[in-house]
């Protein structure tokens, strides 16, 4: 009897619909019946583009307004699963219909996030993190890393990711998800975990500046929402800085990460923890070393000044670090360093200034005597700052003797007229500051110059005597022969 009943049931109910498509691992649609040439019916066109990932019987092709409130989160998860398929955007003509459907689905998801969704459950959080990880976390092709940051190809146009039309929507969706009041951080931290954060940080190496901007915003919001992850994020970013400075000098996202840190530093509680000071000494100050520092110098300088504003006692340590990494042969970096020094000196107190004023102004004196006129000008412009002039005036007995020889040499022989005039102006300021000390320094400078000239003359005479004695020695065997300038001169 049971066999008779079963035999009357329609067999089609036990099979998948012949029109549905299933995506293969290669991304090529095929029918569930196995025939590669079959096409879906028009009624199943949308749902056949991706694998059907319906949740609780909700089709992902349905609109959010067409389902009851109780089913909206199920539809949200279904659409997230639908967007986990990744396409090759290097060929615009490939899978164009599927790409368009995925993009429209992402737009629907973003609109749903804006509309004020219900409180997110754990399956929703898991599905969102899975979709973001599938689309965002990727290994960049070798050409992305072919050139070091700030190398010979600084003028080249940045590389833009061809998949940005989809990636931008994924980033927008992730940002709205992280910042949503419907997200419980205590539940989400299981999915937005250390591994998730590390892979986000790896993406900062992209050459697409648009993606780096999105990453900066997303990571900043994650730092703000997930307090439990804050120490790990700081440590991981520090490790990236260490690797950049001491190993590779290759990373496109240093400026963006420093922007995040600039905001983080402003929220540090006082007194500063030892961990934060170590970050300043071991990461921020060594970041002045790479030759590509100009790419991120503005953000780096901001972070350093933020630390000094938080704790002024750090100013002398920072200046010592700058002097340690001072660029001897890079004039552009010297100009940048002098600008940062001026900002620090504006905030430094007298006690900290006195700790480093002698080596600092010895270095400034070297910059004043630089043959690169921009370096010399930038060093002399320090005297336009009233705070710096006030520091010098209070310590003039020590600083004027240190700086006077550099000014005097410029005033006597610098090739650039603008630098020469500035040197004369600063020289006049020092004279008005303490005329008696100025005259004493001038006399001492003349004595020193006379002594140096006398020593130079003695060296010259000694060399001439050695040359004469060598020229009188007989030539024998393999003995070296001194050839005098007169012997090698050519008469025209």
Q: Tell me which of 257, 291, 310 is where a domain ends.
A: 310
- Torsion of the alpha carbons at 360, 365, 366 and 371, rounded to the nearest 10: 140
Quote the CA–CA distance of 409 and 412 in Å, as a whole number.
Answer: 5
Whether residue 131 is contained in a domain is answered as yes
User: Number of folded domains in the chain?
Assistant: 2
Whether residue 210 is contained in a domain is answered as yes
Summarised one tens digit per residue, pLDDT across range 114-125 is 888 889 999 999
Summarised one tens digit per residue, pLDDT across range 318-337 is 999 999 999 988 999 999 99
Whether residue 471 is contained in a domain is answered as no
Same domain, 107 and 202: no
Name the average pLDDT for the chain. 83
Of the candidates 355, 380, 382, 356, which has an alpha carbon nearest to the alpha carbon of residue 370? 380
**CA-based R_g, the chain, Å:** 35
Same domain, 167 and 268: no
289: DSSP letter: S
Whether residue 185 is contained in a domain is answered as yes
Whether residue 251 is contained in a domain is answered as yes
CA distances from 141 to 138, 145, 178, 269, 424 (A): 9, 8, 29, 42, 57
- Cβ atoms of 296 and 259 within 8 Å: the answer is no
Q: Which residue has the tokens 């899975």?
A: 130
- pLDDT for the residue numbered 145: 46
Kindly tell me the burial class for residue 17, based on how many C-beta atoms sit within 10 Å of its own C-beta (0-12, 13-18, 19 or more). Answer: middle
Q: Tell me which of 245, 276, 310 is where a domain ends.
A: 310
Same domain, 271 and 135: no
Same domain, 49 and 184: yes
Same domain, 178 and 266: no
Domain range for 272: 193-310
Same domain, 51 and 174: yes
Same domain, 43 and 178: yes
- pLDDT for the residue numbered 419: 94
∠ at Cα 346 (342, 347), nearest 5°? 125
Q: What pTM was estimated for this model as a whole?
A: 0.78
- pLDDT for the residue numbered 127: 94
Quote the CA–CA distance of 400 and 67 in Å, as a whole number.
Answer: 81
| Tens of pLDDT, residue by residue, the chain (492 residues) | 444 443 444 443 333 333 333 333 333 343 333 433 443 333 333 333 334 343 434 456 778 877 788 888 888 999 999 899 888 888 777 878 888 899 999 999 999 988 888 899 999 999 999 999 999 998 887 654 444 444 444 456 777 888 898 899 999 999 999 999 999 999 999 999 999 999 999 999 999 999 999 999 999 999 999 999 999 999 999 999 999 999 988 899 999 999 999 999 988 988 999 999 999 999 999 999 998 999 999 999 999 999 999 999 999 999 999 999 999 889 999 999 999 999 999 999 999 999 999 999 999 999 999 999 999 999 999 999 999 999 999 999 999 999 999 999 999 889 999 999 999 999 999 999 999 999 999 999 999 999 999 999 999 999 999 988 888 877 666 666 666 555 545 444
- pLDDT for the residue numbered 52: 39
Write the CB contacts of 200 (distance below 8 Å, at least 6 apart in sequence). Answer: 136, 215, 218, 219, 222
Strand-pairing partners, residue 23, are 29
Whether residue 209 is contained in a domain is answered as yes
Same domain, 81 and 103: yes
Whether residue 200 is contained in a domain is answered as yes
Whether residue 257 is contained in a domain is answered as yes
Same domain, 110 and 49: yes
- pLDDT for the residue numbered 162: 85
Same domain, 253 and 175: no
Same domain, 185 and 210: no
Kindly tell me the burial class for residue 221, based on how many C-beta atoms sit within 10 Å of its own C-beta (0-12, 13-18, 19 or more). Answer: middle
Same domain, 302 and 213: yes
Q: Tell me which of 151, 172, 189 is where a domain ends.
A: 189
């Amino acid at each position: 009897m049971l066999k008779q009943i079963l035999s009357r049931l329609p067999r089609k109910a036990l099979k998948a619909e012949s029109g549905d498509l299933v995506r293969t691992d290669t991304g090529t649609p095929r029918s569930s019946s196995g025939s590669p040439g079959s096409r879906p019916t028009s009624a199943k066109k949308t749902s056949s583009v991706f694998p059907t990932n319906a949740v609780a019987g909700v089709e992902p092709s349905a609109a959010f307004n067409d389902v009851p409130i109780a089913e909206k989160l199920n539809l949200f998860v279904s659409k997230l699963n639908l967007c986990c398929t990744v396409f090759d955007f290097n060929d615009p003509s490939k899978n164009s219909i599927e790409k368009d459907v995925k993009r429209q689905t992402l737009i629907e998801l973003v609109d749903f996030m804006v509309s004020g969704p219900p409180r997110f459950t754990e399956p929703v959080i898991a599905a969102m993190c899975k979709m973001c990880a599938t689309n965002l976390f990727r290994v960049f092709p070798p050409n992305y890393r072919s050139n070091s940051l700030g190398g010979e190809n600084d003028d080249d146009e940045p590389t833009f990711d061809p998949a940005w039309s989809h990636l931008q929507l994924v980033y927008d969706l992730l940002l709205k998800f992280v910042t949503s009041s419907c997200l419980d951080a205590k539940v989400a931290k299981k999915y937005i975990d250390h591994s998730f954060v590390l892979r986000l940080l790896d993406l900062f190496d992209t050459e697409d500046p648009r993606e780096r901007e999105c990453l900066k915003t997303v990571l900043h919001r994650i730092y703000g929402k997930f307090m439990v992850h804050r120490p790990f994020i700081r440590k991981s970013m520090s490790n990236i800085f260490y690797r950049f400075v001491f190993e590779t000098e290759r990373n496109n996202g240093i400026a963006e990460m420093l922007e995040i840190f600039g905001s983080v530093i402003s929220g540090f509680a006082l007194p500063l923890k030892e961990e934060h000071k170590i970050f300043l000494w071991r990461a921020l100050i060594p970041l002045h070393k790479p030759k590509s520092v100009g790419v991120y110098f503005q953000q780096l300088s901001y972070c350093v000044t933020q630390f000094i504003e938080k704790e002024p006692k750090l100013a002398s340590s920072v200046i010592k670090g700058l002097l340690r990494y001072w660029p001897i042969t890079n004039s552009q970096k010297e100009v940048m360093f002098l600008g940062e020094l001026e900002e620090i000196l504006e905030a430094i107190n007298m006690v900290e200034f006195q700790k480093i004023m002698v080596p600092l102004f010895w270095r400034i004196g070297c910059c004043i005597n630089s043959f690169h006129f921009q370096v010399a000008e930038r060093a002399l412009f320090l005297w336009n700052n009233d705070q710096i002039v006030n520091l010098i005036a209070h310590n003039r007995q020590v600083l004027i003797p240190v700086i006077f020889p550099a000014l005097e040499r410029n005033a006597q022989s610098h090739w650039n007229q603008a630098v020469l005039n500035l040197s004369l102006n600063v020289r006049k300021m020092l004279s008005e500051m303490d005329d008696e000390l100025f005259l004493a320094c001038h006399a001492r400078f003349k004595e020193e110059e006379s002594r140096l000239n006398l020593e130079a003359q003695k060296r010259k005479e000694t060399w001439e005597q050695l040359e004469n004695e060598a020229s009188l020695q007989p030539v024998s065997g393999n003995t070296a022969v001194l050839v005098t300038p007169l012997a090698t001169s050519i008469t025209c």
